[in-house]
Amino acid sequence: MFDVVTGGAGFIGSHLVDSLVAQGRDVLVIDSLCAGKRDTIEGHIASGRARLLNRDLLADGWQDSFKGAGCVYHLAADPDVRQSAMTPDPTFRNNIIATYRVLEAMRIHGVPEIVFTSTSTVYGNASVIPTPENYAPFEPVSVYGATKLACEALISAYCHSFGMKSWQFRFANIIGARSGHGVITDFIRKLGEDSQELEILGDGKQTKSYLEVHECVDAMHFARAHARDPVNIFNIGSEDWIDVRSIADILVEEMRLTGVKYRFTGGALGWVGDVPKMQLSIDRLKALGWKPRLGSRESVRIAVQAALAEQ
């Protein structure tokens, strides 16, 4: 029996593949490589512990590969919150339609378990912070958040209708080595173009929770091992938060730059669909016995160092 990881050549997906291989699992990675990179899992392919099927989930030719799989880790998605406000169709198709096609392939081939990566943005601008999993009402403020919430509903329906089990994880901001987007990547690009001035979207006071990617993967495995309901939903994040200006300060310090001026675009929101304050309650995970070893500031510094080393 083997595991399937959709989006397994991407940022979080490739770290997940690392961990599954380390556990002795055989892994089939399905990735279109439009965002993922083969070299992130090349060593596992060479060792024979992982196979790569270069396919788009919106096309055909991958469904029969699910036969004999024990679990699908469905990470493939369009993760660009900002872009979803400008061109929502790709986000809708790559998130909702692709997830439906994954669930159908599981149903046809009898795959019993799915692990799904959702997002804190399903909560929208929550009035309760830290936000628990049972918070209501869900009012996403981005198309991206709405598509992830729709995927959660589809997965729940398939679990109850067809006897599957699911673990659905609502992530805070996950950061670290191999990340190709987000505030750290954006700041490094901007400072590479002009080391004396940094544009910061919004007022720089946006305050959010960040967690280093290895901690995230560890939490996923822990929850799957300790929760066995038909539908298991968990927040994953740190127990604190950090504002955008402080992230800029850490980056400038790690790049050893001096005299950098910050230019703010203004307003509480960095972009359409932005959530200016976000911290997730992780009490449900803590009740099982897991808690993060790193806070937001430590996670940001590790991620910045990794991103600079990759330049």
CATH of the domain at 150: 3.40.50.720
At 246-255, the pLDDT tens digits run 999 999 999 9
Give me the mean pLDDT over the 291-301 stretch. Answer: 98
Residues 41, 88, single domain; the answer is yes
Give the total number of structural domains in the chain.
2
Task: Note down the domain range covering 111.
Answer: 2-174+212-236
C-alpha radius of gyration, the chain, whole number: 19
Instruction: Provide the pLDDT for residue 32.
Output: 97
Report the distance separating Cα 5 and Cα 36, nearest Å: 12
**Cβ–Cβ under 8 Å, residues 10 and 35:** yes
Q: Do 59 and 129 have their domain in common?
A: yes
Please indicate, yes or no, whether residues 201 and 227 belong to a single structural domain of this protein.
Answer: no
Single-letter code of the amino acid located at 212: E
Cβ atoms of 122 and 235 closer than 8 Å: no
Residue 6 and residue 99 in one domain: yes
Do 129 and 29 belong together in one domain?
yes
Can you tell me the distance from the alpha carbon of 141 to that of 144, in angstroms, rounded to the nearest whole number? Answer: 9
Q: Tell me, what's the pLDDT at 131? A: 98
Residues 199 and 292 in one domain: yes
CATH code: domain of residue 296? 3.90.25.10
Give residue-wise pLDDT tens across range 99-135.
999 999 999 999 999 999 999 999 999 999 999 999 9
The reply to whether 232 and 166 lie within a common domain is yes
Say what percent of the chain tops pLDDT 90.
Answer: 94
Residue 247, number of CB atoms within 10 A of its CB: 27
Q: Are residues 46 and 66 in the same domain?
A: yes
Task: Give the distance, in angstroms, between the CA of residue 70 and the centroid of all CA atoms in the same chain.
Answer: 22
CA distance 202 to 155: 35
Q: Which two tokens stand for residue 32?
A: 């279109």
Specify whether 16 is located in the same domain as 63.
yes
